[in-house]
Amino acid sequence: MLSYLQSILVIVAGLLVTVLATWIVNRFWQASDRRAYNDVMGWQFGVLGTTYAVILGFMLSSVWTSYMNTSEDVSEEAIANLGVFRSAENLPKPYSDRLRGLATDYASVVLDREWPAMAKEETPKEGDSVIASMWILSLDMLNNLPAQSDAASSVRAAIRLLQDKRERRREQYRSRLPPIMWAVLIGGAILVIASSCLSGNENLRLHYFHVLSITALILLMLTAIADIARPFEGGTSLDPAAFRDAFSRMSKAVDPLSAP
């Protein structure tokens, strides 16, 4: 969702706000006066920090697992696209040429139109018409080539698999972290950072280092979660390498399963 530059700007802005908040606390509430509350706030800060660290770590692990699953699903969609291309090998002309052309067009549409559209937060739609054309062609084969019914059924199974993988990608694109989770993450960050600002440390340099290090770590993890949670957008967006490879093989009319 965020580019690397945007993530850096968010972190820098958060650090500046934290510096200002820490300065205000030290300006109007002296560290020597706050030291008396360290024993009370210390264990509370420990419980708060530990609880938030568990939540933060769990969320980062969860979105990373989802990101890797999405990457695998994209590869499987490209493989299913190759499967449609290869299923045309036993068909008579012109059906074989038309089906191979549609399979190649699908990879081209995903690369040139759908991937840039998803990066701009636009729903991918262009590939639907290509798959619809595949279904029409397969139905035409069933009606006009009864002797090729087994081959036509194989083609339809390959198309169905491709469509299933496509729907899986669209579902993953539409997936969002619910607002309540962002409320927990951001609210927890504010509480932890505010608690660290209130600690009584008469060594101001050490106090600023303590607060800023906690803030930087939290902001790094939050921006990572925000970016990884949207695998088709932002600085860590998935690369359609599997589709580029599929398009290259199909455009050169290479058997996708036997090619090295």
Largest CA distance in the chain: 92
Whether residue 165 is contained in a domain is answered as: yes
Confidence of residue 256 (pLDDT cuts 50, 70, 90): very low
pLDDT at 1: 59
Residue 25, domain member (yes or no)? yes
pLDDT band of 157, cuts 50, 70, 90: very high
> pLDDT band for position 260 (50/70/90)?
very low
154, part of any domain: yes
Cα torsion through 184, 190, 195, 197, rounded to 10: 160
Residue 172 resides in a domain: yes
pLDDT at 200: 64
Inside any domain, residue 259: no
Q: What's residue 43's pLDDT?
A: 61
The share of the chain scoring above pLDDT 90, in percent, equals 45
CA 107 to each of CA 14, 81, 241, 248, 255: distance values in angstroms, whole numbers, following the listed order: 42, 7, 11, 9, 16
Structural domain contains residue 257: no
Q: What is the mean pLDDT of residues 177-183?
A: 91
Total domains in the chain come to 1
- Give the model's pLDDT for residue 38: 65
Of 257, 254, 250, whose CA–CA distance to 109 is shortest? 250
Query: What is the percent of the chain with per-residue pLDDT over 70, rounded to a whole number?
Result: 88
Whether 143 is in a domain gets the answer yes
Residue-wise pLDDT tens digits, 76-114: 999 999 999 998 887 888 888 899 999 999 999 999 999
pTM higher than the cut 0.85 = no
Per the structure, the complete domain to which residue 59 belongs is given by 4-251
**pLDDT per residue over 34-53, tens digit each?**
666 666 666 677 788 889 99
Confidence of residue 134 (pLDDT cuts 50, 70, 90): very high
Question: Per the domain annotation, does 10 fall within a domain?
Answer: yes
Q: Check whether 67 has a pLDDT greater than 90.
A: yes
